[in-house]
């Protein structure tokens, strides 16, 4: 699966955003190590704290299907927003060591990086192996 296919899936997912408060439309397409594709959008909540980002929706969909290793993640917003800190922490739980993160915007600009560059010194399950 190439980046264009992931981008298209992320854009498509962003159209399903439930964001009556921020009006932001975020889409995430996630490729797992076995080649499965999962997509998610942001889902807001009147409590605000109950809001969940597109990245976490996609990750939870994958994990609930027992697809635990994230290989490539594409996040799309018109503005090219990067994943928030909470999403980065959730990514660190399931990230393959070579997880590639792509941030795309409406103009087609893409920022491509390894997860380790997006979140250096992340707290991972390895820290709890005593």
**Residues found near Zn ion in the complex (CB under 5 A):** 53, 84, 87
Min dist. Cβ of residue 59 to Zn ion (A): 10
Question: Which is closer to Zn ion, CB of 22 or CB of 34?
Answer: 22
* Side-chain-facing half-sphere of 103: CA atoms under 13 Å: 12
Min dist. Cβ of residue 39 to Zn ion (A): 15
Nearest to Zn ion by Cβ — which residue? 53
The beta-carbon contacts of 106-113 under 8 Å, at least 24 apart in sequence, are 106/78, 106/79, 106/80, 109/80, 110/3, 110/7, 111/80, 111/82, 112/3
Min dist. Cβ of residue 97 to Zn ion (A): 21
What residues act catalytically? 55
State which H helix or E strand residue 81 sits in: none
Q: For 8-22, b where at least 16 C-beta lie within 10 A, e where not — what string?
A: bbbbebbeebebeee
Question: Which is closer to Zn ion, CB of 29 or CB of 130?
Answer: 29
Question: Which is closer to Zn ion, CB of 9 or CB of 57?
Answer: 57
């Amino acid at each position: 699966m190439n980046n264009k296919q992931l981008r298209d899936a992320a854009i498509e997912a962003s159209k399903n955003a439930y964001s009556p408060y921020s009006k932001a439309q975020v889409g995430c397409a996630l490729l797992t190590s076995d080649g499965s594709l999962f997509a998610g959008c942001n889902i807001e909540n009147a409590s605000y704290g109950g809001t969940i980002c597109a990245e976490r929706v996609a990750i939870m969909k994958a994990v609930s299907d027992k697809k635990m290793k994230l290989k490539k993640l594409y996040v799309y917003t018109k503005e090219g927003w990067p994943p928030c800190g909470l999403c980065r922490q959730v990514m660190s739980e399931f990230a393959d060591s070579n997880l590639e993160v792509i941030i795309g915007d409406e103009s087609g600009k893409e920022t491509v990086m390894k997860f380790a560059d997006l979140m250096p010194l992340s707290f991972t399950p390895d820290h709890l192996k005593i």
